[in-house]
Structure formats: C-alpha cells, structure tokens
C-alpha cells in the first residue's frame, strides 16, 4: 500500500525540510496551502484551504494515513491583541477544520495526527529540568500551547492516535533564529538578551524532522513529548559559540531585560524565558539524536556556508 501523509504548514522552515525528507523516505505527500501552486515534486500534491473561512479541499485526505500538523501564524511579530488571536486560531481552528472534514469523509484512512506544539508551554522555569507533566504557564504562549494541544487531542474521540511535540528553537541554516543571529554577529550587532543565563531549548532541524517521522512511524508514541536536544544551552553560550564560529567579536553589552520588555512587550518572553527541557521520555521511546550538543550543531550549520 502506498504511504501517503497530509502535511499542513509545509511552506515553513520545518515544513519544507519535512516534506523533502518524507519524499526521500518513500512517502507520497499531500500538502494544504492557502494558494494552490505546483509543488515541483512528482510525489507531492497541493490542495487549497482557507482556515478563517472554514474551507478545505476534501480531496486533501485522499489516500493519506496520517496528518502532520505544522500550520500556524508566525509568532515572531509584534503581539497586538489581533495578532495573539490569529496565532491561537491559526493553530486550533485549522486542526478542528480537518477533524470536522474527517467526520464527513466516511472511509478515510487517517489513523495518526502528529502536531507541533512549543516549549513556550512552560514559560520561565529558571534552572529546573522540565518534564512533560509540568502545568502550562499562565501567559500568552503557555495558554496558546494548551489550547493547541487540547484541539489536537480531540482526534482521540475519532479513534486517531494524537501526538504533540513541544518544540524548542529549531536551528537551521535556511532561516529562523540561527540565521538572524549570524547576520547580527557578522554586522557587529550581536548581543546577549538579559543576563544570558536563561536556558534555551534548541534542536537541529535534522533532528526535528527525524522526530516528526519517528512519531509518525511508531504507534506506541502517543500524547505529548518534549522536542529539544538533550543538552540545552544558555542563550549566552549559544550566541558566543556563533560568534566564535564566525570569527567575530561580541563587543556590545547585554541588552537589559527592561529595554527588551519596553521594545518588544510580551514578545520579549521568547528571549528571556528559561526552559531546560528534559527529553528522557522520547529517548526512552527509542529516538536517537544526531546533534545532542550545541557545539556539534553550530559547527554543522556553519559548515553549510
């Protein structure tokens, strides 16, 4: 039987890498997009949806046995009340739209949903090691992740295996925080936010993609798992390692917490919160990391220049 997966959020940093990896692994892929356009790959079909209008092409689930749900508005933009609502609803309304479609599609083959979530679920936890049973933070990111995971878990009422992966910061040469910080460092504008002692949960994009596929292919994986490298790094260590790899000095002083909050508002939580994620649960399930420590990850990324 053909292996086919429906992927949402396929145009994002992780989504692009995931679709390519699935095709290399022998999967055919259905993709949901706001605009129908040729995928350029023979094993990838593109279908349209409009989350705000509650519309989705019913053919998107044809032949698929699983959904990998990555769709969601970018959080790295100013958080107005309208923006915060869009960040939440783009994640929750989208999966509800798909579950409603499945209720109407008698005979569909979907048995698994693997969804993104985020380490922002936990908020600022200082130096404490964080396992998956910790309660969510009572802030924007914490409550967004809670509602996101609740929406995903409703698939169990339809006999679907539902998995949520609480991702740390994904490091990739092709975009995201690593690419931005390299640019700042090379321009002489690199600086450590706050004290720099805050723990930054991170994961190399190759390991992130591998973990989505691991969750997809292992029926024993259910519920919530932390998605981060087993050896977290402080923000100070991370940016100083980038500077060392780039051969550039970090001459600017740390950016005070008060200035970051004044400029970024609630969005400053992403830079200042400390989350030291434990990944024993996914490791005990059999997952193995290619890049367990930050030095090897940054070296591999800098080697792609």
Orientation of helix 294-302 relative to helix 235-246, angle to 10°: 30
- How do residues 58-77 score in pLDDT, each as one tens digit? 999 999 999 999 999 888 77
Q: What is the dihedral of CA 69, 296, 226, 134, to 10 degrees?
A: -140
pTM: 0.95
Q: What share of the chain is helix, strand, coil (3-state, %, to 5)?
A: 40, 20, 40
Alpha-carbon distance of 102 to 268, in angstroms, equals 38
Confidence of residue 127 (pLDDT cuts 50, 70, 90): very high
Residue 295 pLDDT greater than 90, yes or no: yes
| CA-atom Rg of the chain in angstroms | 19
**pLDDT for the residue 40:** 65
CB 130 within 8 A of CB 277: yes
pLDDT for 204 beyond 80: yes
H/E element, 172: none
Q: For residue 201, what pLDDT is reported?
A: 95
Number of other residues whose CB lies within 10 A of the CB of residue 223: 13
Q: Mind listing the pLDDT tens digit for each residue in 14-61?
A: 999 999 999 999 999 999 998 777 656 678 999 999 999 999 999 999
Q: Pairing relation of β-strands 202-204 and 169-171? A: parallel
Q: Between these two residues, 143 and 267, which has the higher pLDDT value?
A: 143
pLDDT grade, residue 257 (50/70/90)? confident
């Amino acid at each position: 039987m053909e292996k086919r997966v429906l992927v949402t959020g396929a145009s994002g940093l992780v989504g692009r890498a995931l679709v390519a990896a699935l095709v290399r692994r022998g999967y055919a892929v259905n993709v949901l997009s706001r605009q129908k356009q040729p995928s350029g790959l023979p094993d990838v079909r593109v279908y349209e949806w409009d989350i705000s209008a509650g519309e989705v092409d019913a053919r998107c689930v044809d032949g698929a046995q699983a959904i990998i749900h990555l769709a969601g508005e970018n959080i790295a933009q100013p958080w107005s009340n309208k923006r915060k609502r869009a960040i939440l609803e783009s994640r929750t309304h989208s999966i509800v739209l798909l579950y409603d479609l499945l209720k109407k599609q008698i005979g569909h083959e979907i048995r698994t949903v693997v969804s993104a979530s985020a380490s922002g679920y936990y908020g600022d936890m200082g130096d404490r090691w964080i396992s998956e049973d910790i309660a969510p933070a009572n802030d924007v990111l914490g409550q967004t992740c809670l509602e996101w995971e609740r929406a995903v878990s409703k698939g169990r009422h339809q006999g679907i295996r539902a998995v949520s992966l609480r991702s740390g910061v994904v490091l990739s040469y092709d975009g995201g925080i690593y690419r931005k910080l390299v640019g700042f460092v090379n321009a002489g504008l690199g600086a450590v936010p706050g004290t720099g002692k805050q723990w930054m949960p991170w994961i190399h994009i190759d390991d992130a993609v591998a973990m989505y596929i691991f969750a997809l292919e292992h029926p024993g994986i259910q519920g919530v798992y932390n998605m981060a490298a087993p050896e977290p790094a402080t923000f100070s260590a991370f940016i100083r390692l980038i500077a060392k790899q780039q051969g550039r000095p970090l001459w600017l002083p740390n950016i005070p917490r008060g200035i970051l909050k004044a400029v970024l508002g609630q969005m400053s939580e992403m830079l200042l919160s400390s989350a030291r994620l434990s990944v024993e649960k996914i490791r005990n399930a059999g997952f193995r990391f290619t890049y367990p420590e930050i030095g090897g990850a940054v070296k591999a990324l800098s080697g792609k220049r």
